[in-house]
């Protein structure tokens, strides 16, 4: 099978548009995070399970308050379902400490709950199946939980 340069360029351009389009559709801290307002000394982690994800993998996005009252956000950080826990370093999250995510049922595309899923940051722990009052918003295509920096 032979491909012309023009055909190859078209295929590559299509793949690039597809990849960019799917990223653009992911949760955005400024447009989609309504559970908590930007608050100095606090940040929000949005967790999306494999069932709710359009990437085929669970992922998180870190929303940090910005000076102008908006959110500054991390990139999409995919978790690893093959590991019990995925740790994200300060370089990935721009936080002061590592962030750890346990997916639990978040890796089960048929599960309707987040049993066994949790997020840990600097001694703070949130169980995503039964989050502490006031720590997380309502689950809707993912769940957003607030932590202290």
Domain ranges of the chain: 28-148
Mean per-residue pLDDT, 113-123: 97
| Whole-number Cα distances in Å, 84 to 79, 94, 100, 102 | 10, 23, 10, 6
Amino acid 109: pLDDT: 94
Mean per-residue pLDDT, 29-45: 94
Contact residues for 79 (Cβ-Cβ < 8 A; gap 6+): 57, 58, 59, 60, 86, 101, 103, 106, 107
Cα distance between residue 77 and residue 117, in whole Å? 16
pLDDT of residue 124 exceeding 70 = yes
CA-closest candidate to residue 45, choices 31, 55, 35, 53: 35
pLDDT of residue 119 exceeding 80 = yes
* Mean pLDDT score across all residues of the chain: 86
Share of the chain above pLDDT 70, in %: 83
- Which two tokens mark 141? 């295509």
Amino acid 68: pLDDT: 82
- Which two tokens mark 6? 């023009």
- Which two tokens mark 115? 């049993």
pTM of the model: 0.82
């Amino acid at each position: 099978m032979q491909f012309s340069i023009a055909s190859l360029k078209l295929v590559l351009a299509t793949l690039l548009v597809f990849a960019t389009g799917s990223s653009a559709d992911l949760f955005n801290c400024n447009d989609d995070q309504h559970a908590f307002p930007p608050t100095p000394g606090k940040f929000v982690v949005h967790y999306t399970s494999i069932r709710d994800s359009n990437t085929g993998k669970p992922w998180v996005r870190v929303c940090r308050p910005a000076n102008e009252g908006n959110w500054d956000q991390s990139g999409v950080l995919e978790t690893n379902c093959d590991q019990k826990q995925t740790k994200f370093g300060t370089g990935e999250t721009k936080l002061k400490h590592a962030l750890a995510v346990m997916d639990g049922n978040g890796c089960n595309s048929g599960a309707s709950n987040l049993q066994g899923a949790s997020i840990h940051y600097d001694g703070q722990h949130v169980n995503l199946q039964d989050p502490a009052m006031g720590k997380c918003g309502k689950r809707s295509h993912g769940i957003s939980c607030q932590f202290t920096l």
